Chains A and B, each alone.
Chain A
Amino acid sequence: MSQITNVLIAGIGGQGVMTAADIIAQAAIRCGHDVKKTEVAGMAQRGGVVTSHVRFGERVHSPSIMPGSADLLLAFEPAEALRWAGHLRNGATALVNTFAQTPPVVSLGLFEYPAAPLEEMARHPVSTYSLDAGEMAIQMGDRRLINSIMLGAIARHLPFDSGLLKQALLERFASKGSEMLSLNEQAFDAGRSMN
C-alpha cells in the first residue's frame, strides 16, 4: 500500500473536477502506473459537492482513498478544501483555490461560510499552498481555465515530471482548437509558477 499515491480532487459540480482527475490519471498511466479513478458525483451536476479519487502505483485494488491517507488535495474551492482536509495524512500537501463559491443555503442565512478558511487549514498538519485561480482565470478571459491553473499548481507536487501532466492536459484540449490549447497552456504555466 505504501507505494500508492492518493490524490483527492474536490470542488463543486461544473468546476471541472472530473476533467482534472482524468488528466492526472492519464499522466500517471504514461509513467507506467496502474491507476484507478472514482467519480463520487451523485447529483453534483446540481451544484453539490464533487470529489474524485485518483490512486496510482504498482497495483491499485480499492478505488477509494481511505480517510486520513490522501497524499495530495487539489481543492477548487476554499470551503471544499476545509471539508476534505481531514482526508489528508499528516504531512500531506493541499493546493487551494481561494476563489469562494457560496451555495444558496449560505445566501439564505441557514449556514455560515467559514470566515477564514486558509487560517483554519493551517490547523491541519498539512502544507497548504493557496492561489486565487478564479481571479486568475477571469483575468485570462474564461473562468473555466481554473481547471488548468489548478493542474499547473499541483504539477510539482506529483511524483513524476510535471511535463507529463502538461502533455496530458494539452492532449485533452488538442481537439478544441489552437486558441483554447494556447490559453490552457498559459493557464497551466501560470498555475505552475505560483508555488
Chain B
Amino acid sequence: MTAAETVRDLQALFISGNEAVAMGARDAGCRVAAAYPGTPSTEILEYISTYPKVYSEWSINEKVSLEVAIGASLAGSRALCAMKHVGLNVASDALMTQTLIGAVGGLVIAVADDVGLSSSQNEQDSRHWGRFAHIPVLEPSDAQEAYSMTRFAFGLSERFAVPVLLRLTTRICHVKGLVRITADESIPAQGFNKDSSRYVMVPGNARNRIPQMMQRDIELARYSEDCELNRFESGSDQSIGFVTSGAAYCHVREAFPDAPVLKLGLSHPAPVETIRAFAEGVDRLIVAEEVDPLLETELKAAGIPLCGKEILPRIGELTPTVLLPAVASLTGESCELAPVRESDVFPRPPTLCVACPHLGIYYCLAHVKNTIISGDIGCYTLGAGHPWNALDTCISMGASLSVAQGIDKGRSEHDANKNVIAVIGDSTFLHMGMQGLLDITYNRGNVTILLLDNRAVGMTGGQNAPSSGLDIQGNSTIQVDFRKLCEALGVKSERIHEVNPYELPTLFKALRDEVKIAEPSVIITNQPCVLTERYSKQPALNVDADRCTGCGNCLDVGCPAILVERRETVVKPNGREKELAFVKIDSAACTGCNLCINTCGPDAIVPIQNFSRINAVEVNA
C-alpha cells in the first residue's frame, strides 16, 4: 500500500511516524513496549501507553528498556523498545549478546536518529549497529511505511529468530502523513521454554551460537534480494539511477522525479545482486543515504561502480536543496535553485521557561567564583547559554558526576582552588548518574552535586519517571526518595540539603558552604517542572517604574518574562559610562514565582494585585 493509493481515502489517518510505529506495534500483537524518553522517539511510547492491550513502561534507561523487551521476547511475546540514537549506545551491551540468542517472540528495536541535530548532543548513524550486531535494518520513508514496516519487523524477527532494528530519523518520527491501517493480528504467546544452551551466554554456549549467527547473516542477505520492502521504481531518464532509503528516498523522488530508483526498505543486509543488476541499467549510480557511507562502502567493495559521499555531505539531511547541486556537480549541468534571501534576524535559541526552577540555580552558579561546572543532558544544559554561561561540560547522560570526579582527581596546581560542581536532573540521575555518585563516594572524591529534582523528564515534555511517583499512564507508584538514595550511595547525611530553588539566599548559602567542604555533598532542589500539572501558578508580577533604577540585576535571572522597556547610558562619578536597562514584566507570561524579587535591590518588582508572596508550591498530582 503506497500513500498514493490512499490519498482520497477519507478513512486514512493523518498521523506522525511515531504514532504509526505505535499503531503498527499494537496491530502486530506486541504485548510489551518499553522506552526511555528521547527526542525524536519519545511519542512512540506515549502513544502505545494509551493502548490497553499492550503493557508499556518508561524504563529507567535504554539498556533497561531493551532488556525488558528481551525478557518479553524470551517469554514468547512480541516486544518493542524505542529510543533515540544515543540511547542505543547505552543499550548496546545487551544488544551485542542478545544477537547470539536471537529472538523468540518478535523483538523490535525502534531507534530514532536525529539527522541534522535538532535536539541532540551528536549525530549518529544507527545503521552501524545492524552491521556490528549482525541484525537486519528496516528503514521506513514515511508514516505509512513506519506503520507497515513495524508490523513487518515482528514477523521478520520471528522468521529469522533475530532482533530487528527499525531505523527512524527525525524526518520520519515528526512528519505526519496519510496512513491506512490494516486488521490487527492476534499472536498467541508461545510461553517461556527453558533452553540454557541458548539463553545462558557463558563462553561455551556463546561460542556455539556464533556460527549460527553467521549463517543467519547469509540467509538474511539471500532473503534481502527478493524482499518486498526493496522496490524498483522505473524512471524515464536512465542517465542517473539512485539507490536510497529512509527519508532520503522522499527527497530523491522530489528532486529527480524522472530517475529510476531502487528503494531499500530492508537496507541491511543490502540486496547486492539486485543493486548490481540495477546499476547495469543506468548510466550512473548514486547512493543517497543518511548519513554515513555504509551501503556505499559495501557496494564499492562488491565492485559496483557508483558515486556517493564524493558529492554528498556526510552530515545532515539529503534534502532536494542538497541533492540538486551535488548531482549537478557530477553531471556538469547547471542547477537553478531558487535564490535564497538570507535573514539577519537575531538568533532565538531555546531558553529555560518562565519561572523554571532551574533559573535560580543558574543565577547562583553564575555568581559563585572559581568553579568548574560539569553538566549533563536535560533542560539544565541550557545553563551553558546566556545570561548564565554556567556550564563547562556536557557529554552524555550521567556524565556530569563521573566527569566531575575525573576533573577533581585530574586537577593540577592550576586548578587547586577550583570548586568542582556537577549539575544533573532527577531523571538523568536515575538513568545513569547514580553510578557516578557511588564512584565519587567510594573513591573519596570532592564534588558538590546539584541534583535538580523537578519530578519529571523535562526536556522531552514532562514525562513521568521514578522521581514523579507516577507511571507512564499517570497512575500512582513508588517515588524515589533522593535523600535516602544519596545516603545509601555513601553521602553523609549532613552533606545532603534539600532546598527550594526559588529561595535564593538559602540556595546561595548551601552552595557556598558545601563547596568549601572537601567531600562529596548533594544539594537537592524540590520544586516541580513548570510544564507539569504539579506546578501551580501564582499571581503575576509587575515593575513599579518609579522605583526601577535600571540596574539590570533581574535580567541575570534569565527569565523570558522580564523584558527591557528602555535603555539609558549614564556617566558615573568616576567618569565611566554605565548602561541602564529599565524593565517591565510580561504579565501574561509571568506565573509569580517571585525569583526575580530576590534580585531587586530597590523593591521595584511587586505583585500585580495585593497578594502575599507565595513561592510556587507543589500540589498533589
Contacts and interface: CB of A to CB of B under 8 A. Distances in A.
B178 A105 contact: no
B349 A86 contact: no
A186 B321 CA distance: 40
Interface string A6-29: 000000110000000010011001
Nearest to B382: A46
Interface in A15-70: 22, 25-26, 29-30, 32-49, 58-64, 66-69
Contacts of B255: 62
Given A25-B14, A64-B251, A112-B346, A32 B8 contact: yes
Interface in B346-374: 346-353
Interface in B562-582: 562-564, 567, 579, 581
B14 A26 contact: yes
A107 interface: yes
Nearest to A86: B341
Contact of B350 (A42, A87, A102): A42
Nearest to A37: B176
A43 B118 CA distance: 7
B291 to A, nearest CB: 16
B348 A138 contact: no
A110 to B, nearest CB: 6
Contacts of A25: 14, 176
Contacts of A49: 348
A64 B324 CA distance: 14
In this complex, the interface size class of chain A, counting residues with CB under 8 Å from chain B, is 35 or more
Contacts of A12: 348
B540 interface: no
B14 to A, nearest CB: 6
Interface of B: 3-4, 7-8, 10, 14, 16, 39, 118-119, 142, 171, 174-178, 250-251, 253-255, 257, 317, 319-321, 337-343, 345-353, 379, 382, 386-387, 459, 461, 531, 555, 558-560, 562-564, 567, 579, 581, 583, 588
Main secondary structure of the interface of B (DSSP, over half): loop
A103 B351 contact: yes
Contacts, number: 177
Interface stretch (A76-84, A147-155, A158-166, A172-180): A76-84
B350 A44 contact: yes
Given A25-B14, A48-B351, A138-B588, A64 B345 contact: no
A89 B560 CA distance: 33
Contacts of A111: 346-347
B274 to A, nearest CB: 22
Most chain A CB neighbours (cut-off 10 Å) among B119, B350, B351:
B350
Interface string A84-115: 11110100000000000011111111111110
A110 B567 CA distance: 13
Which 9 pairs across A and B sit closest by C-beta, in order of nearness? Answer: A68-B338, A46-B350, A111-B346, A62-B254, A86-B341, A42-B118, A48-B350, A43-B350, A61-B253
A99 B565 CA distance: 15
B323 to A, nearest CB: 10
